[in-house]
Amino acid sequence: MNTERMRSLGEKRSVIRELFEYGNKRKAEIGAENVFDFSIGNPSVPAPKEFSEELCRLLAEENPVSVHGYTSAPGDFSARKAIAENLNERFETAFAPEHLYLTCGAAASLTISLSAVVNDGEEVIIFAPFFPEYPVFIETAGGKPISVPCRSSDFQIDFYELEKALNKNTAAVIINSPNNPSGAVLSEECFEKLGKTLLEAEEKFGRKIYLISDEPYRELVYGEIKIPFVTKYYADTIICYSWSKSLSIPGERIGYILVSPENTKWKSLYSGICGAGRALGFVCAPSLFQHMIPKCIKMTSDISVYAENRNLLYDSLAGMGFKAVRPDGAFYLFVKSPEADAKAFSEKAKKHEILIVPSDDFGMEGFVRISYCVPKEQIERSLPNFKKLAEEYSL
Ligand code: PLP
C-alpha cells in the first residue's frame, strides 16, 4: 500500500505545476509578455543586497570546514540564540535556544512536528481553504486530515464548525496566518477564542491537542496589521517558521520549529521533535544558512513591492466587479469564481492568457487563487484581459 501511495503521489499532477508548465509553453508560442502567469507562489522580489553581501563574506572569510560541516541535529547554538533573542525583543516572550529546532523550511517543520505528535489513525484538523500539502503530510505521519471550512465572508475560523470537529481522537489543529491561498490574517479575537476552545477541548477529552502554527508568511503583512504571537493564547503550541518567503530564499531550505515553554511537557515534546527529525533523515538544517541566521535575523526582502501589487490587483479587480476579501498578508488574492465551477472559470481565464489556480485543491470550491508575487508590470498589462474576462460574465 505504501509503495502504491508514494507512486501515486509522485505521478499525480499538481494543478499549479500544470498551469505553470502550460504558461511556459504558451510564452514560447506567443511571447512571454503576452502570458499572465499568476499560478505559482515563488517570491518575485530578490533577497536583500545585504544578505548576498553577508553570504559572500561568510564564504570568503570563515572556516569552510565549519561553514559546510554538520551541525548538531537541533541546529547551531548561536543561530538558535539569535532567533530566541529576536523573538523575545519583538514579542516580549521568553524563548531560549533549547526551545528551537532548525529545519529545512516550513515543509520540514510540518512533517517533523506531525510525526512528533500524531499517532496512527489520529485526526488533524485543517481549515479550508488550506495549503494542498497538508493532507499529504498528515497522512504520511499516519494521521487523518479533517477539513473544517472557514467563514467564507472573511476567512476567519468558524468556531461552530471547529467545535463540531474536535473529538477525543484529535491530536492537532493546523493554522496558517497569513494564509495561503486566502491572504487572510487571523485576528487577535480569533486567537483568543481559539486558545479558549482548544483548552476546553483538552479538558473535555482528557488529552493534549497541539496547535501547529504554520508561519512562512509571518513577515508578509500590509498596512497597520499586526499578527498576534500564538504562544500567548495557547500553551500547547508548535510554531513552524521559514525564511523562504520573507528573505526570498525558498530554494535554500531553512526554517525552524519552536515549542512553547508554557507547555508543561515541552521537554518531552522537544525530544519527540528531535526523534522525528532523526527518523525522517533530516540530519541537520543546511549549515551555510544556519550560519547566516545571526547575520540576517533582522532582514526581510522588500515587502512593500507585494503591498503595492496587492493594492493594484485588488482595487482593479474589485472595480471590474470581481468579488474577493481584501488580503492583509502573504501574496495571494482569493477571488470568488463568477460561475460555480472554478475549474471552468480558470479555463476561460486561460483563453485570455491569464493563468489562475482553481480552489478545489485548496479544499474549497468556487474560488481561484491569484499569486501576485509577480512584477508589477505584469499586473498592469494583464488588466485589459481581466476586463474582457469580467465582460464575458457581464460583471
Ligand atoms: N506552508 C505554506 C502555507 C506554504 O505556502 C508553503 C510554501 O509555499 C510552505 C508551508 C512550505 O514552505 P517552505 O518553502 O518553507 O518549506
| Ligand 1 contacts CB of residue 260 (under 6 A) | no
pLDDT digits 0-9 by tens, 87-117: 999 999 999 999 999 999 999 999 999 999 9
| Ligand 1 contacts CB of residue 105 (under 6 A) | yes
Range 65-296: architecture per CATH? 3-Layer(aba) Sandwich (3.40)
Confidence (pLDDT) at 17:
87
Q: pLDDT grade, residue 14 (50/70/90)? A: confident
Q: What is the mean pLDDT of residues 55-68?
A: 96
- What end-to-end distance do the CA atoms of the chain give, in Å? 48
Confidence (pLDDT) at 296:
97
Number of the ligand 1 atom closest to the C-alpha atom of 41: 8
| Ligand 1 contacts CB of residue 180 (under 6 A) | yes
Q: Is the pLDDT of residue 230 over 80?
A: yes
Number of the ligand 1 atom closest to the C-alpha atom of 255: 15
Q: What is the mean pLDDT of residues 187-195?
A: 97
| Ligand 1 contacts CB of residue 103 (under 6 A) | no
CA distance 227 to 110: 20
Structural contact between residues 306 and 370, judged by C-beta atoms closer than 8 angstroms: no
Q: Which CATH entry fits the domain spanning 2-48+302-392: 3.90.1150.10, 3.40.630.30, 3.40.50.80, 3.40.50.2000? A: 3.90.1150.10
Q: Is the pLDDT of residue 1 over 80?
A: no
| Ligand 1 contacts CB of residue 216 (under 6 A) | yes
Q: What is the mean pLDDT of residues 218-245?
A: 95
Residue showing cell 488533524: 124
pLDDT digits 0-9 by tens, 339-393: 999 999 999 999 999 999 999 999 999 999 999 999 999 999 999 999 999 999 9
Determine phi and psi for 211, rounding to 5 degrees: -100, 115
Mutation choice for ligand 1 from 20, 131, 331, CB with most ligand atoms inside 8 A: 131
| Ligand 1 contacts CB of residue 131 (under 6 A) | yes
Going from N- to C-terminal start, the domains of the chain cover 2-48+302-392, 65-296
